[in-house]
Amino acid sequence: MTPTWQKIVAPLVIGVILLGLWEYAVRAAAIPHYILPGPLLILQTLVADWDTLSQSLWITLQITFMALAASVLIGGLLSILFTQSKWLELSLLPYAVILQVTPIVAIAPLIIIWVNDTLLSLLICAWIVAFFPILSNTILGLNSADHNLVDLFKLYGASRWQALRYLRLPAALPYFLAGLRISGGLALIGAVVAEFVAGSGGTASGLAFRILEAGYQLKIPRMFAALALVSGTGIVIFLLLSLISHLLLRRWHESAMRREN
């Protein structure tokens, strides 16, 4: 078992070395900051422009988390409905797949035209990108309850609701959480992509719009600062969801188990 500090320190060291090389290369070759700014300048910009950038970050976060919440709600609910009724699954699942495989950049303009409210249209786009992993994973999980346990429930005359509550839902939890971790990242990607397509800022402009705007104005350090915020947000979301998953599974699931050899 790798000690925890190694897991944190090792990638951190690599990161510092790479950033150092980057800073050194930019200075040594005297690359102009509108081509490639160094990490220190990006950090300075991030601090200087924090007021604007933090407002945009807040908008992007809102869209991301609302899309993720909608994915959990609708994806989870649909998967339960699908496993309760074969007919529903047969007739609706293909459309969920179509929604998933259609590139979001292709349908985002339509959604933005159809839905008047910009925030809502971005939310819908992000949701379309994010909900499928939760749906498909949870369906798989709900169907993977131990067959003998299913028989046991039958033997004691368990109702559908009891079988769902005491057997299928707990059995599906690890699968759902794996889907949630994927969906968390996808919700952010969906939110950013949709905003790129929407292109217009106004009052509700998120990080993607700041990146576009900075690009047009050749404020490349600001562009990188916004980019760093997007990446940072993605990492934090992933870590947060991993933590939730670990806390929920650590007592019983193999994936969260420490092994001593």
Partner 1 sequence: MKPLAELRGVGKRYANGTVAVSGVDLDLHDGEFVSLLGPSGCGKTTVLRMIAGLAEVSDGRIDWHTPRDLGFVFQEPTLMPWSTALTNVMLPLKLRKTPAREAAARAEAALAAVGLEDFLKAYPRELSGGMKMRVSIARALVTEPRILLMDEPFAALDEITRQKLNDDLLALWDKSRFTAVFVTHSVFESVYLSQRIVVMAPRPGRIAAEVRTDMPVPRDPGFRTSPEYAAACRTVSARLIEAMAA
Which residues lie near partner 1 (CB under 8 A)? 146, 148-149, 151-158, 162, 166-167, 170-171, 173, 251-254, 257
Minimum Å distance from CB 175 to partner 1? Answer: 13
Minimum Å distance from CB 251 to partner 1? Answer: 6
Minimum Å distance from CB 164 to partner 1? Answer: 12
Of 74 and 256, nearer to partner 1 (C-beta) is 256
- Other C-beta atoms closer than 10 Å to the C-beta of 96 total 20
Of 170 and 215, nearer to partner 1 (C-beta) is 170
In whole angstroms, give the CA distance from residue 64 to residue 14: 29
Whats the size of the chain, residue-wise?
A: 261
In whole angstroms, give the CA distance from residue 107 to residue 184: 21
- What string of DSSP letters covers 40-58? HHHHHHHHHTHHHHHHHHH
Of 41 and 171, nearer to partner 1 (C-beta) is 171
Of 153 and 209, nearer to partner 1 (C-beta) is 153
Minimum Å distance from CB 54 to partner 1? Answer: 40
Angle separating helix axes 220-249 and 39-48, nearest 10 degrees: 90
Please, are residues 37 and 224 in contact by the beta-carbon 8 Å criterion?
Answer: yes
Residue 5 contacts by C-beta under 8 Å, 6 or more apart in sequence?
Answer: none
Minimum Å distance from CB 145 to partner 1? Answer: 9
Of 32 and 157, nearer to partner 1 (C-beta) is 157
Of 18 and 152, nearer to partner 1 (C-beta) is 152
Minimum Å distance from CB 160 to partner 1? Answer: 12
Minimum Å distance from CB 162 to partner 1? Answer: 6
Please, are residues 230 and 209 in contact by the beta-carbon 8 Å criterion?
Answer: no
Of 55 and 143, nearer to partner 1 (C-beta) is 143
**Residue 14: what residue type?**
I
Residue 163 contacts by C-beta under 8 Å, 6 or more apart in sequence?
Answer: 150, 153
Which among 145, 135, 236 has a CA at the least distance from the CA of 180?
Answer: 135
With residues binned 3-state (H G I as helix, E B as strand, rest as coil), the percentages for the chain, rounded to 5, are 80, 0, 20
